[in-house]
Structure 1
Amino acid sequence: MRKLIETSDAVAQAAMLCRPLVIPMYPITPQTHIVEKLASLISDGNLDAEMIHTESEHSAMSAAIGASAAGVRVFTATASQGLALMHEVLFIASGMRFPIVMAVANRSLSAPINIWNDQQDSIAERDSGWIQFYVETAQEAMDTTIMAYKIAENKDVLLPVMICIDGFTLSHVFEPVDIPEQKAIDRFLPKYEPGDKLDVKNPKSFGPIAFPDTFAGFRKMQDEAMGRSIDIIKNVNSEFKKAFSRSYGDGLVENYMIEDAEYAIVAMGSACGTARAVIDEMRKKGKKYGMIRIKCMRPFPREEIISAAKPLKGIAVLDRNIGLGAGGALFTEIKAILPEKNVNDIILGLGGKDITIEDIKKSFEIAEKENSSTQWLL
């Protein structure tokens, strides 16, 4: 069924289709519409789940961990300072290998106080052991939420997943969305069957202390699971395409007109739509421009990016974040795997500032003229 709906609505309906049993929540702008829609779905009898209204985001993630430990499918959502408040327990969720799925409506971090979009909040948590997806459209937000459960719950992965959605810029935008039928989702996503869970009839210890001789081994297992998730993500993306006739690149990276490109943008999130429009326009003028869209930030798709970037003369990385004193986070990762390439860091779109067609054109000009520079587009 195709409907014109808000992206937050699409995320909530996607979560409903995945049949979570527990939804711990604490509202924070611009995630609030996701919470409100899920609450309505429960109160209207469309979703058989328990929504736990917690006193903070730290408590919401703690409740999600407890519910996942009990062996049920869990969904939650947050943004900005709320995600920062979760920081302590994000590592517990991933370290205990709980396949929680969480939507993040990306918003800047204070101070100064700002409720608008950039990606600083989720970028700050990129090393917390969560798989991270960054989506471009409402349709992709819905589809990625569904795929996230199949990836997270795979026995070779068992890691939590964040679906990162640009706050307001995407979360509050209405777009046409194809909503799958429940039967189709049930075929694609089987009932969650946890390997271990809290059970009074079969007692087990969860989260015991790890001494120095074993701690690194647990981290290594997490890292190996993150590595295995690369193929799982690709496979789930392919399975989703077979089931619903939609996919997003290989699930990790989506290239746009990159085959014969000389200069390219590397970007994440909703700004990629603007970049496509610029590429289309400039191609008509003879410019061989393209884009490498990073859908998956963790695990970082090194080989896929290296392969796509081989023919490029220059790259402009669009960073909607800033690692103060080190440049943008995406630039840092790209430059590390492409040390011989002309990679320029473009800091833009912070605190909700629009990323315009002119900004994208300027970024391409920098890729052509500069050599591994850092530029702020204010």
Structure 2
Amino acid sequence: MGKRLAKEVSIAIAEAVAQCKVDVISAYPITPQTHIVEHLAELVNNGELEAEYMPVESEHAAMSACIGAAATGARTFTSTSAQGLLLMYENLFIASAFRLPIVMVIANRSISAPISIWNDHSDVMTMRDSGWITTFAENGQEAVDLIYHAYRVAEKALLPVAVNIDGFTLSHVIEPIELLDQELVDKYIPPLRMKYKLDPKKPITMGAIGVPEIYTEAKKAQDEAFKASYKIIVNAWKEFEKLTGRRYQPVETYQMEDAEVALLIMGSLAETAMNAVDFLRKKGKKVGLLRFRLWRPFPLKDFLRAIGKIRALGVIDRAVSHGSTGGPVGIEVRSALYQSNKRPKVVNFIAGLSGRDVTVDDFVELFEKTYEAINKKPKFSYEIYGVKE
């Protein structure tokens, strides 16, 4: 399928993007995503990638350029982090409403203030209602595979896709990574053919005013397309498994077959949490782990199947939703469980903000706190874990 080489994850992502034969790259540098677009600039400059590289004056302009390019039928890519994502914000909604298959990597980073360049999920959680398909990687190989998957899905669903990697924890780490042979990439990602695009020979209108008589219907159509993308996402993973043997699912599980208590998490901390599961299993504790690979569209049925018969679930958020009844993921999980007869006790932890370590011992403690919830009344709030006194 391809050679397995030790590479920085950001470099491997850039090379996977190049293998997807992008036409336009538009980006602005911001830590910790810069290595991705720097390497793409090198590939274009060296003649290894035939693409238009657009160095713009801001992230707002980067997304604007991607929107313009994608609207003409070009395959596009951008990448950002934290405040850069916020500067793109209004254009995120335009990209999804225009049904443009833009792919973006977010090297997840804390939102200021105070200023932080380290990792959590406070940036991506701001865009959860923007209409972007959203996936999370746990390691470098998954990050690369999700790039291939993103282009396959975006161009079939005609919707933008955001691939999330933990800043520094993944973006700057060197791991053994296997890039697919180009023949496999070409088979998996056929040339982009858009039925509706900006073409002087066949004029169309994009971005016309949505008067009250049509705006609701337009949003309904967008929402139906977004919900319909679920099947495209799952089928694309099945096709990827046939090509590579590597399997991905909307909700992935670890040691959940007979679990009484489980934690739920997204991103690279999941691998540390697995070590805690193994440790507690050796002590006879029936614990398990759930991970959301797909965050939007929310994989409701997959989640309800995955929880099995657990008695308590600890949801670990890596972002604060100030003044609410929980973190963004915790709120979503409680809403999902309300639609089911399966209702384990749910406790919500905010952990790992700004790159603070969450160790195996910490996860063991979080499991213990979740066990304690079995005999307590449901607590519709959250605990910010690890606060120093």
TM-score normalised by structure 2 residue count: 0.94
**Aligned equivalent of 2:336:** 337
- The alpha carbon displacement at 1:139 in A equals 0.4
- The alpha carbon displacement at 1:235 in A equals 0.6
Farther off after superposition, 281-290 or 134-143: 281-290
Query: Which of 253, 256, 262 matches 1:255?
Result: 253
Cα distance in 2, alignment partners of residues 217 and 16 from structure 1: 38
The superposition leaves residues 261-312 of structure 1 with CA deviations (integer Å, 9 ceiling, x where unpaired) of 1111110000100011111121121111111100111000111111111300
Q: 1:308-347 to 2 correspondence within 5 Å?
A: 308-326=306-324, 327-339=326-338, 340-347=343-350
| % identical aligned pairs | 46
Query: Which of 372, 380, 383 matches 1:375?
Result: 383
**Aligned equivalent of 2:237:** 237
- The alpha carbon displacement at 1:247 in A equals 1.6
The superposition leaves residues 300-335 of structure 1 with CA deviations (integer Å, 9 ceiling, x where unpaired) of 011111111130011111100010011210000001
- The alpha carbon displacement at 1:358 in A equals 1.5
**Aligned equivalent of 2:162:** 162
**Contact map agreement 2:24 2:52 (CA 8 A) in 1:** yes
**Aligned equivalent of 2:199:** 199
Where does structure 2 lack aligned partners over 5 or more consecutive residues?
none
Q: 1:286-297 to 2 correspondence within 5 Å?
A: 286-297=284-295
**Contact map agreement 2:257 2:308 (CA 8 A) in 1:** no
**Aligned equivalent of 2:366:** 363
**Aligned equivalent of 2:221:** 221
- The alpha carbon displacement at 1:253 in A equals 0.9
**Contact map agreement 1:359 1:377 (CA 8 A) in 2:** no
Q: 1:7-156 to 2 correspondence within 5 Å?
A: 7-154=9-156
Cα distance in 2, alignment partners of residues 351 and 218 from structure 1: 38
Where does structure 1 lack aligned partners over 5 or more consecutive residues?
none
Farther off after superposition, 340-349 or 104-113: 340-349
Cα distance in 1, alignment partners of residues 178 and 279 from structure 2: 28
Cα distance in 2, alignment partners of residues 310 and 290 from structure 1: 10
| SS of the residue 1:338 aligns to | helix
**Aligned equivalent of 1:6:** 8
**Aligned equivalent of 2:276:** 278
**Contact map agreement 2:70 2:76 (CA 8 A) in 1:** yes
Number of equivalenced pairs = 374
Root mean square deviation of aligned Cα: 1.0
| SS of the residue 1:180 aligns to | coil
Cα distance in 1, alignment partners of residues 228 and 136 from structure 2: 19
- The alpha carbon displacement at 1:355 in A equals 1.6
**Contact map agreement 2:256 2:308 (CA 8 A) in 1:** no
- The alpha carbon displacement at 1:341 in A equals 2.1
Cα distance in 2, alignment partners of residues 316 and 267 from structure 1: 9
Cα distance in 1, alignment partners of residues 259 and 351 from structure 2: 23
The superposition leaves residues 114-138 of structure 1 with CA deviations (integer Å, 9 ceiling, x where unpaired) of 1000000011101001011011010
Cα distance in 1, alignment partners of residues 160 and 100 from structure 2: 6
Cα distance in 2, alignment partners of residues 65 and 359 from structure 1: 43
- The alpha carbon displacement at 1:202 in A equals 1.2
